[in-house]
Every structure is written in structure tokens, then in C-alpha cells.
Amino acid sequence: MRPLLRLAYVARRHYKAAAPPTPPKAPKKPQKFSFNGITWEDPYSWMSKVSDKVAMRHMDVYMEQEEKYSEAVMSDSEKLLNKLHFEMASRMPFDLSTPPLRWGPWLYYRRVEEAKPYPILCRRLASLNDDFISHKYPPAGFDFTTGKAIEQKLVDYNLEAERFGGYAYEELSEVSPNHQFLAYTMYDKENDYFKLSVRNLNSGSLCSKPQAERVSNLAWAKDGHALLYVVTDQKMRPYRIYYSLIGSTDEDVLLLEESDESVHINIRHTKDFQYVTVNTFSPTSSKVFLINAAEPLSGLKLVWECDAIAHCTIEHHQGYLYLFTDAPKGGQSVDYHYLLRSLVDDSSSTRKWEEVLVDDPDLIIEDVDFSDKYLALIVREGKKVQLCSVGLPLPFGKGSLKLRKLDLQYLSLPKHVCQISPGPNYDFFSSVTRFIISSPVMPDAVVDYDLATGQWNIIQQQNMLHDRTRILYGKNSASISMESSNSKHSNPVNASFEDDHLWNDLSEFYACEQYEVPSFDGLFIPLTIVFSRNNKTQAKKPGILHGHGAYGELLDKRWRSEVKSLLDRGWVVAYADVRGGGGYGKKWHNDGRRTKKHNSINDYISCAKFLIENDIVHENKLAGWGYSAGGLLVASAINRFPDLFRAAVLKVFKNVCLLSGSLFRCYQHSTVSHLASYSC
């Protein structure tokens, strides 16, 4: 070997790879806390002191170190990240408009103009050049009679961003029933509250009043000529209701002020706009008052109360009030909602409420939606969620009605539906109602369902079956059909395979399986897993386990386009419906909250172990995923069983992050590195 080459060989042989980046360590500032006779020390409590400027400067420095560390760990994954970014961006929906929603003579929708960050709220008359109306591009067409565009722009949120310091976030938006005004609240970032504005839809100008601050709720009255709104105190507690007459120079009238700091206020109008309901609730009581929308200053009338916090929604239909609630019966807690009714003009000293439907533990009512001639119901039979309707008025005789005995009309749904969400459905006198149908193996479908004829129409749904799917699976894509489907049976038949094609269902390519996992105390926890049929037999599969388990909310199992990149690479995506969440009754929620929060964590751990012990996911390739309060769930599970998980995605809000502190900091770097390596 020649000396020069030999020297080069020796140099290469003794070359040392660069040392891996060292994760930063958050400063420790131990502080002792005592509660219920227990004392502990928290070295990271300083992170929660948001008002401490020094602490927040230290926090900024620490977060900058974390960001640099993450960039260093991910430095060799740039090619993969670019590839994933391109894949996910290519699946972004190209719909630049929401599907138009009909209310009275108008079609309302929001659309985005090219190169602008925020949408525009628009409307057009449904009767004007209706042959131009398109769900994908509703502003098409021109009124040659008047020489004007068919579309009327109501609010340009790009201009709203200029009003609010370059940022536009709307929380509430309500068109008046006479279609002359729009009341909406925009977030004032500088002052950290929502500000109310009312816009004249005919002139496009802002009304001089009301322009209130810290508004949390609103409802129209007097056929759109008056507005009721709720404001919060400095602690963000809704505590006052005001009445404002549009166009008047008079001061807004205070209708109600709640001085008890444990009581919150909420208002809403009934769908027929004849009444405004006022809910006041605290940890120990719930009350519902009624305001005549035609005479808002005539006072509040108490129509319902109970000695417990309860969900209470009141609707009005042909002289009756209908109450949908989960309040205790006879002092005993109930697990699900039920429906009551009472005469509006009940003048007795004690208002009489009668039960509308007989309790059926095997057919649970999840939600109701009233219209003039029909009642739509979202029901759950076992684990199967369904959508049905019945004509109004109901055939009352003596006593309550049996839901199964009614002439129910069911919408035939695809398999694996996990959630049905009602749309805005403002038009009380329309038989067409809008719903969003969700599934782990189907993009969300926005459906208009005609309760009079049983016909349904998918008006918006992302089509995921593009060229890459055809290449991977060698199959043709299915197209969305607008055929109607009508099933008038109390026990509807599952949608057929052909029906799934109509829904743009992806179960031909991705499997969805359900399991019952025994938790530490023997209770069975629902576990849903989704995987690619093309990779079913693949060994050493990576997986990610989603969890939430809080607020009685449903775990979000909807299809998301970015998950496709994981599934196509052999990942298993799993969802653990742990206690504390929703969909299985109030007891399920209560058994996973407060002093029973450990049940949620144990349920999640049991599901993680089940995935590994049954060879569904490789033991060294399981990641956890938690959003909002789910971040607490996943972080707690990792702290208890650190060897069970190799990565974690914690999409948590600020307060949850601060509470968790650096307990799961060591897993932040493994999240990005392991997820990247699994995707190769």
C-alpha cells in the first residue's frame, strides 16, 4: 500500500462520528406545596407563573433551546420531511367554498379568494339563476336584469383582520331571522376578549350599537330588530344579559345579573325564534328561564329547575316546550338524555312536565333536532350510531311513547360510522336537514337529508382515491353518487358494499376493527384499530394510540388525510375510548374524572399493552397521541410505564403544558426521531 493511501485509510478508520445532540435541561426551582395533609416538592412550578416576567423570560430561553435541539435531532430527516409534506399537501382539499346553506330565500356560504388568508361570508338568492348554483363554487352566475353579480359579500374577514391588529378569529356569528343583520364576535388579541359587532347586511356598514366587549353568547329577538347578549366578568364568567334595540340610541338594558360567582349564564333562541331560553347553572343547580322573543322586556319566566348540574336544551313546537336533558329523575342520577314536554301556557303553580318517550337502555337518544314537521334523532344502539326521523306532531295517547313503535325512517349509513354531527339547520320550516357523517375509514361527508322524502345528497366530501391509492392497491377509485336511499325499518340493515362506494368509503383499502380490552378492574374498554389491508401480515408494525378521556367528549376517531401517510407505510392507528370521555353515558364520564382520573390512565395503559401482547404493534414501536386533556392522559401513562412507549405526540393547550412541566420532556426528542424512522 502506498504511504499516501495508507494515511488516508488510517484517518478514515479512526474518524469518530459527531456526538448526538444533548437535550437541554429545564432549570429546577424547588417549591413545596401542601394539600389535604400531603406535602410535596415541585421543581418546575415556576413554569406556571405566567404573570412573572422573569420566569417567562427563563421559559423563552428554555423553549429556544428545545427548538434548536429538535432541529439538530431532525437534521438528517429533511428529505423524509419534505416527502411527507408533499404527500400531505397534495391531499389538501381544493374546495374554496363551504357548501351553501339554505335559510329562507337565501343561500349562505363562506369562500376563500386566491392569495388571501381569511374567508369571506357571502350569500345569494336561491331563486336567482338557480341553474348556476354549485356546491363547489356557489358565486357562479350573473344577474343580467339588474346588471349586478348574483353574490352579495357580507363580511370580508381579511378586512376584519385589519380592524383587529392583523388577526381575525370569529367565535359567534348569527344572522337575524329577517336576514337584515349579522351579529358576530371577533377576538381582540390585545385585550384578550371577544368584541361584539352588528353589521347591516343591506348597506354593509357596521351599526353604531351594540358594540360590547367580553361577549360570550347572543340571541336574536323581535324578528331580528333586537339582540340579547351575555357578557363575562374579569374572570371570564358569563354573568350579565343585555337587551339592545337595533337602530335605537337608547342605552342597552340590563335584563339579568348573576352575583353568585359559582353561577354561569347561557342563552339561545328556539329554532322558530319565538322564545329565548336562559340557562343558569352551578355545580349544585340548573335552571331554565323563558323570554318571549316578541316582548323581551316582559321578564323572565322560570320553566325548569333541578338540584344538580345538568344539560338542558329547550325547543318550542306548536304550543309545547320540549326539554332534552340528562337531569336526575326522582333524585336518582340517569346515564343518558331523555325528552320531556310541557304546555307553554301552563299557569299552574308547579309546571307539569311529561315524559315523551319510554326509556330504552338498548336504544339511546344522543341528540335531537326539531323542525316544523319532523323530529330528527341521532341514536345509539349498542356501539352503532344511527340517524333517523319521525313525523310531527307525535301520536300521543295515554302515557309515553315507545320509540321503536314509531314510524321511524332511517338513513342507510356505511359501516364504521363513529360520529354524526348536526349542521346549523337554521331553517325551521325546511324538511331538509344537514348532518356530518364521520368514520375512521371515510372522509367526513356533509349530507343534506330530506326528512319528507328520505332522499339524501352528499354535498361535500374529500375524495382520497387518487393515483397513489391506485398504484398501491391496483384498484380503481370509487366515485360519489348522489342516489337516494330510504329505509323505513325500526331495525335498519347495514349499508351494503355498494352503498359504501356511494359514500366514498375507504374500507376496501383500510380495515377497521373493534376490540373489547379488559382494564385493570375487569371493565372492558372499546379499542378501535385502523390499518392498511395491503400491510396486514407485515411483521414489526409501528403503531400510534390515541386517547382523550375528558369532559364527556367523544374521542375524535374521524378520518384525517395526514393519517394516510402512516397507514400506507404499515402503521397501525388505534383509538382507546377510555373512561372520562363520551359516547357511553354519564357514568362512563364520571368514572374517569376527578378522584377517579386514574381509571382513564389505567384504561389507556391496558389498551397499549393489549396492542403489544397481541402482536398488533411491535413492542418497541408504540407511540402515544393525546390532544387537549389527552396530553395529561398520555404523559401520565408514560410516567408510569416509560418502557411501554417509544414516542409521544402531545397536542396540548398552554395550561396543560405548564401543569405537565418537564415530566415528559425526555420524550419530546424521541417523538420526532422515532416517528421519522418508522415512516421510512
pLDDT tens digit string along 263-309? 999 999 999 999 999 999 999 999 999 999 999 999 999 999 999 99
Q: Residue 465: is its pLDDT beyond 70? A: no
253: enclosing H helix or E strand: strand 253-257
Query: Sign (positive/negative) of CA torsion 251, 252, 256, 258?
Result: negative
DSSP state of 206: B
Q: Count CB atoms within 10 A of the CB of residue 166.
A: 9
Q: Residue 672: is its pLDDT beyond 60? A: no
Which residues does 555 contact at the CB level (< 8 Å), separation at least 6? 546, 547, 548, 549, 575, 576, 577, 581, 582, 583
Please list the residues that pair with 647 across neighbouring strands: 623
Nearest to 433 by CA among 489, 387, 485: 387
Spell out the alpha helix ranges (H) of 568-665. Answer: 586-590, 597-613, 630-640, 654-660
Amino acid residing at 515: Y
Which residues does 68 contact at the CB level (< 8 Å), separation at least 6? none
Nearest to 339 by CA among 378, 373, 308, 309: 378
Q: Residue 496: is its pLDDT beyond 60? A: no
Q: Residue 492: is its pLDDT beyond 70? A: no
Query: Sign (positive/negative) of CA torsion 181, 183, 184, 190?
Result: positive
Mean pLDDT of the chain: 85
Q: Residue 580: is its pLDDT beyond 60? A: yes
What is the mean predicted confidence (pLDDT) over 496-504? 59
Considering only residues 675 and 68, tell me which one the structure prediction assigns the higher pLDDT.
68
Considering only residues 488 and 622, tell me which one the structure prediction assigns the higher pLDDT.
622
The pLDDT confidence band at residue 137, using thresholds 50, 70 and 90, is low
| Residue 121: half-sphere exposure toward Cβ, Cα within 13 Å | 17
Nearest to 172 by CA among 180, 158, 184, 163: 184
pLDDT tens digit string along 219-258? 999 999 999 999 999 999 999 999 999 999 999 999 999 9
Counting residues of the chain whose pLDDT is more than 90, the rounded percentage is 65
pLDDT tens digit string along 422-445? 999 999 999 999 999 999 999 999
388 is written with which cell numbers?
A: 333517523
Query: Distance (Å, rounded) from C-alpha 377 to C-alpha 396?
Result: 18
Domains (ranges, CATH) in the chain?
Answer: 91-168 (no CATH), 170-310 (2.130.10.120), 510-651 (3.40.50.1820)
Q: Residue 499: is its pLDDT beyond 60? A: no
What is the mean predicted confidence (pLDDT) over 593-612? 96
Residue with cell 368514572: 591
Nearest to 678 by CA among 560, 561, 535: 535
Q: Residue 673: is its pLDDT beyond 60? A: no
Which residues does 265 contact at the CB level (< 8 Å), separation at least 6? 217, 230, 238, 239, 240, 241, 256, 258, 278, 279, 280
pLDDT tens digit string along 327-379? 999 888 899 999 999 999 987 778 999 999 998 989 999 999 999 999 999 99
What secondary structure does DSSP assign to 51-106, as a single string?
T-HHHHHHHHHHHHHHHHHHHHHTGGGHHHHHHHHHHHHHTS----BPPPEEETTE
Query: Distance (Å, rounded) from C-alpha 267 to C-alpha 239?
Result: 11
pLDDT confidence of residue 494: 39
What is the mean predicted confidence (pLDDT) over 502-515? 90
| Range from 34-38, 110-114, 452-456, 493-497 carrying the lowest mean pLDDT | 493-497
The pLDDT confidence band at residue 131, using thresholds 50, 70 and 90, is low
Considering only residues 603 and 501, tell me which one the structure prediction assigns the higher pLDDT.
603
Nearest to 151 by CA among 132, 169, 164, 167: 132
Q: Is the peptide bond before 210 cis (omega within 30 degrees of 0)?
A: yes
Contact 202, 158 (CB under 8 A): no
Contact 503, 535 (CB under 8 A): no
pLDDT tens digit string along 31-71? 999 988 999 999 999 998 888 899 999 999 999 999 999 88
Query: Distance (Å, rounded) from C-alpha 277 to C-alpha 316?
Result: 10
Nearest to 667 by CA among 656, 655, 658, 644: 644
What is the mean predicted confidence (pLDDT) over 542-560? 94
pLDDT confidence of residue 484: 38
pLDDT confidence of residue 396: 85
pLDDT confidence of residue 334: 92
What is the mean predicted confidence (pLDDT) over 3-13? 43
pLDDT confidence of residue 677: 28
Query: Distance (Å, rounded) from C-alpha 365 to C-alpha 370?
Result: 14
